Amino acid sequence: MVDLILAFLMLIIPLFWLRVIKKKSWKKIKQELLPTKKNPSEELIGGTKLFFALLIGSILLSLIFTVSGVNDLEKVSEVIAINSQNLVLYLVIIIIMVFVEEFFFRSFLIKQIGVFPSSLIFGIAHAGYYSIAQIIGAFALGLILAYWFNQNRSITQNYLGHLFYNFFAIATYLIFR
């Protein structure tokens, strides 16, 4: 229930801020919050490239966590195990939540407070996994997502890359548990 409320707020806050506070038209809001510049095949290629950038970042983070001894990712596995008991519902929630995260953290928050603070909040938003490594990892991957968004100005590429990454992480967990 808390996740649903947070998702709703992450959709409403940008709309309220831009429409009521900044007094922008709905057309300007759509252009600002849902930027997509390329044709579908370019968006898919960009999203796939972003997925590989996130995967490489994740592998490097895993190595750092292993060497440093800061590896409490088994807590993340426990949360995934609980949520994946109804796999179809879990996947639908992920599809929706990834969009909401990209909409809020990249399309909205980066422009309001910048790359580093929005990535820091993105990391903290993953505290529900009860893992320091997850928070640090989400922050670092949030930096990659923010950089990619700033370079490409496409919520579609960010959405696809983030979605592919989450599906890969869940599939890896389900296969190797």
| Domain assignment present for 11 | yes
Q: What is the pLDDT of residue 41?
A: 94
| Domain assignment present for 24 | yes
User: 172 and 123, same structural domain?
Assistant: yes
User: 46 and 111, same structural domain?
Assistant: yes
pLDDT surpasses 70 at 97 = yes
| Domain assignment present for 37 | no
User: 65 and 126, same structural domain?
Assistant: yes
- What's the mean pLDDT in 126-134? 88
Q: What is the pLDDT of residue 136?
A: 94
User: 47 and 123, same structural domain?
Assistant: yes
| 3-state helix/strand/coil string of the chain | CHHHHHHHHHHHHHHHHHHHHCCCCHHHHHHHHCCCCCCHHHHHHHHHHHHHHHHHHHHHHHHHHHHHCCCCCHHHHHHHHHHHHHHHHHHHHHHHHHHHHHHHHHHHHHHHHCHHHHHHHHHHCCHHHCCHHHHHHHHHHHHHHHHHHHHHCCHHHHHHHHHHHHHHHHHHHHHHC
| Domain assignment present for 50 | yes
Q: How far is residue 31's CA from residue 135's CA, in Å, rounded to a whole number?
A: 31
Q: How far is residue 113's CA from residue 28's CA, in Å, rounded to a whole number?
A: 19
| Domain assignment present for 108 | yes
User: 25 and 49, same structural domain?
Assistant: no
User: 145 and 58, same structural domain?
Assistant: yes
Mean confidence (pLDDT) of the chain? 91
**To the nearest whole percent, how much of the chain has pLDDT over 90?**
69
pLDDT surpasses 80 at 74 = no
Q: What is the pLDDT of residue 120?
A: 97
User: 138 and 54, same structural domain?
Assistant: yes
pLDDT surpasses 80 at 82 = no
Q: What is the pLDDT of residue 158?
A: 97
User: 79 and 26, same structural domain?
Assistant: no
- What's the mean pLDDT in 122-151? 94
| Domain assignment present for 128 | yes
Q: What is the pLDDT of residue 1?
A: 65
Q: What is the pLDDT of residue 173?
A: 83
Overall number of domains in the chain: 2
User: 15 and 69, same structural domain?
Assistant: no
> Whole domain around residue 16: which residue ranges?
1-32
User: 28 and 47, same structural domain?
Assistant: no
User: 124 and 75, same structural domain?
Assistant: yes
| Domain assignment present for 98 | yes
Among 1-5, 65-69, 107-111, 132-136, the minimum mean pLDDT is found in 1-5
| Domain assignment present for 162 | yes
Q: Taking the complete model, does pTM exceed 0.75, yes or no?
A: yes
User: 142 and 81, same structural domain?
Assistant: yes
- What's the mean pLDDT in 98-109? 97
**Residue pair 135/175 in contact by the 8 Å Cβ criterion:** no
What are the tens digits of pLDDT across the range 141-156? 999 999 999 999 999 9
